Amino acid sequence: MLDFATNQLLTQTSAGTPMGDLLRRYWMPIAAVSEFDHRSIKPVRLLGEDLTLYKDLSGAYGLVDRHCPHRRADMSYGFVEQCGLRCNYHGWLFDEAGRCTEQPYEEMEAPEARFKDRVRIKAYPVQTLAGLIWAYLGPEPAPLVPNWEPFTWKNGFVQIVFADIPCNWFQCQENSVDPVHFEWMHMNWSVRLADKLGPYSPRHLKLAFDEFDYGLVYRRIREGMSENDPMWKVGRVCLWPNALFTGDHFEWRVPVDDHNTLSVTWAFSRVPKEREPYAQERIPAWHGPVREAESGRWISSHVMNQDFVAWVGQGTVADRTKEHLGASDRGIIMLRKRFLSDLDVISRGEDPKATIRDPELNRCLPLPIAERKVLTEGLTREQLLNHPIYGRQLSEGYPFQLGQPEEVRLAYEDAMGVPTHAVP
Ligand code: FES
Ligand SMILES: [Fe+2]
């Protein structure tokens, strides 16, 4: 249980709040590169700031204020030029560093005044990595965009999935270090959703939580498992500051503002050995729904949608003054303590946990991966189909979240060399 002030402290995201400033020390994934195949501008809201993401005619990305500094027109209706974004109201042009490079009428009437030199638009750095577009809203010098090990893997089909979750990011991230929910929310609830009373999934018998350089690890033993099982020896990762990493996919919980979160999934499917060498030309991205159209209730049919039900169900900002934490929640307590101690770290002017600044190290950042061999060395088609986790992925395309477009499923089938059956 937390007191009211600590709950507020941990869940605020705006600039000038302690956690808002801490979150600004990290690069956040905000869009997919492939979204810009057919568009040049996307309005985004990140950490309580309304912004405009664009790709100009030279191919450079920029992230600037949503509103023009002239008379506040909406820059997301502007148009891109060879270098930068032009406001559609009176044609002022801005580059990706925020400089005003043209003011058509001002330059006509009073060129010597060079008014443009005194005008700037708020602008933030943007980088691309692993098919994602990343933004950094913190103080310079910016750290490096972490090059996590799976981003360097070959012979895989990657898809990026977004969902808009109407609640605070912190309760979503607490789910990244909550192993027992897997048994109830995903396994047993799915049994009940199928109108069966059982059998239920093996129970959790033992949990362990450890800290490492880039986050926390949780490990579990369930009925029928030995201490040699990779889920006990290696475990799963609560990745700093705002992601879950399971070995083959990342899920970032990107704070849109105090009351909304963008869920960003990056999922890697290793192609069967028979398909090697395989090089993916384009990483597709899609947006999954969270509500049933007719009833307005949250969707519960898919694993990630089930997580969303938990998160939004806790309230827009979970009231932690009313919770009762038990032995299963040790990881959540570690997570909160680590963030609170990093507030002191940044107030001393030091880098918080998992800040990457060494380019040599960033060539490939290793992570704990329970199924490493399957993902890095691959399996034959037959071995994959018989695998307890990957067999299902192979037959279903991407079973975690509702809403995969047909074209993505077909691209996946093409990569994997098997016809799959659409998830109903
Ligand atoms: S409001 Fe943007 S140029 Fe005038
Ligand atoms: Fe989950």
Residue 120 CB–ligand 1 contact under 6 Å: no
Span 125-147, average pLDDT: 98
Closest CA to 19 of 7, 31, 1: 7
260 lies in a domain? yes
Residues 97 and 191 in one domain: no
Task: Determine which residue's CA is closest to atom 1 belonging to ligand 1.
Answer: 71
Task: Determine which residue's CA is closest to atom 3 belonging to ligand 1.
Answer: 90
Residues 58 and 203 in one domain: no
State residue 423's pLDDT score. 42
Residue 2 CB–ligand 1 contact under 6 Å: no
How close is the Cα of 111 to the center of ligand 1, in Å? 18
24 lies in a domain? no
| Cα gap 124→139, rounded to integer Å | 10
Q: Domain ends where: 90, 108, 129?
A: 129
Q: Which atom of ligand 1 is nearest to the CA of 75?
A: 2
CATH number for the domain harbouring residue 87: 2.102.10.10
Residue 94 CB–ligand 1 contact under 6 Å: no
How close is the Cα of 91 to the center of ligand 1, in Å? 6
State residue 390's pLDDT score. 85
Residues 53 and 196 in one domain: no
Residue 148 CB–ligand 1 contact under 6 Å: no
Q: What is the pLDDT of residues 41-51, one digit of tens each?
A: 999 999 999 99
391 lies in a domain? yes
How close is the Cα of 181 to the center of ligand 2, in Å? 7
Q: What is the pLDDT of residues 225-243, one digit of tens each?
A: 999 999 999 999 999 999 9
22 lies in a domain? no
How close is the Cα of 180 to the center of ligand 2, in Å? 9
Residues 309 and 384 in one domain: yes
Residues 347 and 277 in one domain: yes
The residue whose CB lies within 8 Å of the most ligand 1 atoms, and thus the one to mutate among 90, 93, 101, 119, is 90
Residue 73 CB–ligand 1 contact under 6 Å: yes
Q: What is the pLDDT of residues 253-278, one digit of tens each?
A: 999 999 999 999 999 999 999 999 99
Residues 77 and 107 in one domain: yes
Q: What is the pLDDT of residues 307-340, one digit of tens each?
A: 999 999 999 999 999 999 999 999 999 999 999 9
pLDDT averaged over the chain?
96
How close is the Cα of 400 to the center of ligand 2, in Å? 10
Residues 267 and 389 in one domain: yes
Ligand at shortest distance from the CA of 249:
2
Domain count, the chain: 2
17 lies in a domain? no
Residues 92 and 116 in one domain: yes
How close is the Cα of 173 to the center of ligand 1, in Å? 39
Residues 293 and 394 in one domain: yes
Q: How many CA atoms lie within 13 A of 260 on its CB side?
A: 13
Q: Look at residue 279 and tell me whether its pLDDT is greater than 80.
A: yes
181 lies in a domain? yes
Is residue 41 helix, strand or coil?
strand
Q: Domain ends where: 66, 101, 129?
A: 129
Is residue 160 helix, strand or coil?
strand
Q: Look at residue 291 and tell me whether its pLDDT is greater than 80.
A: yes
How close is the Cα of 369 to the center of ligand 2, in Å? 17
Residue 89 CB–ligand 1 contact under 6 Å: yes
Residues 150 and 95 in one domain: no
State residue 278's pLDDT score. 96
Span 147-154, average pLDDT: 98
User: Which residues lie across from 45 on neighbouring strands?
Assistant: 50
Q: Is the peptide bond before 352 cis (omega within 30 degrees of 0)?
A: no
193 lies in a domain? yes
Q: What is the pLDDT of residues 377-421, one digit of tens each?
A: 999 988 988 988 888 888 777 778 999 999 999 999 999 987 655
Residues 125 and 146 in one domain: no
Question: Could you give the C-alpha distances from 396 to 61, 94, 317, 403, in angstroms and in order?
Answer: 35, 46, 34, 13
Residues 170 and 265 in one domain: yes
> Could you tell me the residue range of the domain that residue 59 belongs to?
37-129
167 lies in a domain? yes
Is residue 274 helix, strand or coil?
helix
